[in-house]
Amino acid sequence: MADRLTLEVATPMRLAVSAPVDEVVAPGVEGYFGVLPGHAPFLTTLGIGELTYRVGREEHHLALVGGFAEVRNDKVIVLADAAERPEEIDRARAERARERAERRLSGRAADDVDFARAQAALMRALMRLHVAARVL
């Protein structure tokens, strides 16, 4: 059994992370899951949330939107729709997205609101604001 995992997080645009890590915690669609070295192989769908990985005592965070994760041979491969580090997040833009989604969900917007899309937009905005606060 290896004493570390290899984590790779890729989006359609870039390789966001490629590093040896001690632990990964990711947002699955059924809830968060953790992976340590020696974990059993599996494949899962990801939701909207914060991916955290630890190297020694240092934690790193990513805002993650959807995708898939595969765990095999002490390697975690994440193929995400989007992944952002805290310092990459535009807080003002995320705040505007949160306000827009809340307005749509409150009924103050047009009658033809797609509530599922508005709710997903609100979740993305709140998660991005949460992760962005990690650099303060």
Q: In the structure, what pLDDT confidence band is assigned to residue 128 with cuts at 50, 70 and 90?
A: very high
If you classify domain 5-84 with CATH, what class do you get?
mainly beta
Domain extent listing, the chain: 5-84, 89-135
Lowest mean per-residue pLDDT among 6-10, 16-20, 110-114: 110-114
Calculate the average pLDDT of the chain: 92
CB 80 within 8 Å of CB 9? yes
- pTM of the predicted structure, to 2 decimals: 0.87
Query: What whole-number percentage of the chain has pLDDT above 90?
Result: 79
pLDDT in tens, 26-58: 999 999 999 999 999 999 999 999 999 999 999
pLDDT (tens digit per residue) in 91-106: 999 999 999 999 888 8
Phi and psi angles of residue 130, each rounded to the nearest 5 degrees, phi first? -60, -50
- What is the dotted CATH code of the domain comprising 89-135? 1.20.5.440
Planar angle of CA 36, 64, 81, nearest 5 degrees: 115
